[in-house]
Amino acid sequence: MQVNNRKTKQRFLFPQDRIRALTFTLMVITFSSCHQNKFESEQALWAHIKKEENGYVHQKTVNNVSYTLTYRPTDILVKQELTDRYAIETVDSLRNKYGEYLYFNLSMSSNNQELLSNKIGNRNTFGTMVNQLAFGMTDKVHMYTKAKDTIPMADYVYPRMYGMSNGTSMLLVYPKDERLLEKDFFHFTIEDLGFSTGEVRFKVSTLPIKDQPKLNFKNLL
């Protein structure tokens, strides 16, 4: 009877091992399918970026002012600088160049208009905001590590649209500081720009940035 019991136990061990292996395989497949980070076109990459659940877009509305902060992957900057014909060595060089920094698009609108469009009636206020947007955003936008260390902005680009857009957008550039990415999140804040919003704060996860999506440049040749 004891021999029979051993055989019975052995008979059930094999299927259980197979079930565990199958479960693990399914988990890997599911994770891989949900975790695509290499894309065949710029359009496909942007579609991935714009899905909020992927962690690259952060939105908030305060006192009728809407803020959207979007991470801009390194390969988007690389693609913009490439000509129609390029070598993979050029891609590697540009990745090294742009990979030293983090890029974010910041879009702000009030009542679905540019911020300046809401200040046209007051010449002094309008002029002050023009200067602030063009030259003073380094004093208004801040990035802090989880330990509350300040990461200074390296540069920003503000293309004035003269009322031709429904939002005020700018590209913000920050150094890829190790202190910023060694933790699980950092803070991004925007001071009140004259719309009674108070400080607007975003909590940004570092995992999507560390595992940022890429373009398959070999297939784009």
Helix (H, G, I), strand (E, B) or coil at 189: strand
Name the DSSP class of 184: S
* pLDDT recorded at residue 11: 44
Region of residue 112 (left: phi > 0; alpha: psi -120 to 50; beta: else): left
For the chain, report the end-to-end CA distance as a whole number of angstroms: 70
Instruction: Kindly list the averaged pLDDT for each block of 10 residues, start to end, along the chain of length 221.
Output: 47 50 47 68 95 96 96 96 88 96 96 84 84 94 96 94 79 96 96 95 97 90 61
Predicted TM-score of the model (pTM): 0.80
Q: Exposed, middle or buried: residue 104 (CB in 10 Å: 0-12, 13-18, 19+)?
A: buried
* pLDDT recorded at residue 164: 66
* pLDDT recorded at residue 79: 94
Is the Cα dihedral 162, 189, 143, 180 positive or negative?
A: negative
What does each C-alpha distance from 199 to 29, 195, 211 come to in angstroms? 42, 11, 29
